[in-house]
Chains A and B, each alone.
Chain A
Amino acid sequence: MMSEDFGEEDSFGARAMQERTHAELQEMVSSHNILAFIKGNRLMPQCGYSGTLVNILQSLSVPFETVDVLADERIRQGIKDFSNWPTIPQLYLGGEFIGGADIVIELFQSGELQEMIEVAAAS
């Protein structure tokens, strides 16, 4: 098929792009103790799930960073592949993926999140 060569070239280019995004995301999560990928920013989250996550982090009075996935389609798709997690928001503590909004809410309610956040904030 004539399109085969182009197909391979495309997938090679796409793979190189994916690897670059992966490296970039790895750098982002490793260089922040508490990092949340959300829709919108912390002052104006664009989705209830992202808003809930931001509210919980704010209530714990620790410094944290957010990344707006709506601002960059490459990051939006990239972070899903990176964590093998299909939805936004996503919380990372000390470079480790913790989960989405439901998990963060449950960990917060059980008191586990507060402990994990203290450890992450101190590292």
Chain B
Amino acid sequence: MSLQALIEEKLTTELTPSHIEVINESGNHGAPLGAESHFKVIVVSTKFEGKPLLARHRMVNAALKEELVEDIHALSMTTRTPAQWAAEGGDKVEPTPPCAGGSTSR
């Protein structure tokens, strides 16, 4: 299974999202073709209701604990409740900044 698919599976199991996107952004960061190091995830879940941003991000981090130790170099995330997601029109996600390539490990 690709890392991308594994991330999607784990987040789906842990957070039962109504909407999930896992985007491999590795190509924007000078990584070789086919690399799986930089990801962006969009997770919409009722489990985020009443939780501040930090707590939501910790939930995502917890679900991907093992992958974050070695495999994932960078993980950008957008966490929304279904109500927030709908209010925002559902597709407004800011692009992540490109990496200047200062670190080759992690």
Residue with the greatest number of chain A CB neighbours at <10 A, chosen from B68, B78, B101, B102: B102
How distant is the Cα of A70 from the Cα of B104 in the complex, in angstroms?
A: 11
Asked if A51 contacts B75 (CB within 8 A), the reply is no
- Asked if B57 and A99 make an inter-chain contact with CB atoms under 8 angstroms apart, the answer reads yes
Interface: A40 (CB within 8 A): yes
| 0 or 1 for each of B61-100: is its CB under 8 Å from A? (1 = yes) | 1000100110000111110000000000000001011111
Which listed segment binds B: A6-14, A27-35, A59-67, A103-111? A103-111
Is the Cβ of A70 less than 8 Å from the Cβ of B102? yes
A39 an interface residue at 8 Å Cβ cutoff?
yes
> Measured between C-beta atoms, what is the minimum distance from B39 to chain A in Å?
11
| Chain B positions 26 through 63: 1 when the CB is less than 8 Å from some CB of chain A, otherwise 0 | 00000000000000000000000000011001100100
Please name the residue on chain B nearest to A103 by beta carbon: B53
Given contacts A102-B76, A106-B53, contact A46 B100 (CB under 8 A): yes
Q: Are A48 and B78 in contact (CB under 8 A)?
A: no
User: How many chain A residues touch B (Cβ–Cβ < 8 Å)?
Assistant: 24
Instruction: Assess whether B2 is interfacial by the CB under 8 Å rule.
Output: no
A39:B102 contact, CB within 8 angstroms = yes
- What interface size band does chain B fall in? 20 to 34
The chain A residue sitting closest to B68, CB to CB, is A86
Contact A51 B53 (CB under 8 A): no
Is B103 interfacial (CB-CB < 8 Å)?
A: yes
Residues on the B chain within 8 Å of A106, using CB: 53
Given contacts A45-B100, A47-B100, A51-B100, contact A86 B54 (CB under 8 A): no
- Quick check: A39 and B103 within 8 Å, CB to CB? yes
- Which residues of B are in contact with A by a Cβ distance under 8 Å? 53-54, 57-58, 61, 65, 68-69, 74-78, 94, 96-103
Among all A-B residue pairs, the 6 with the closest Cβ atoms: A46-B102, A48-B97, A86-B68, A48-B98, A52-B97, A103-B53
Q: Given A46-B103, A70-B103, A105-B94, 20 other A-B contacts at CB below 8 A?
A: A39-B102, A46-B102, A47-B103, A48-B99, A48-B100, A49-B96, A49-B99, A70-B102, A84-B58, A85-B58, A85-B61, A86-B65, A86-B75, A87-B75, A99-B54, A101-B76, A102-B77, A102-B78, A106-B53, A107-B53
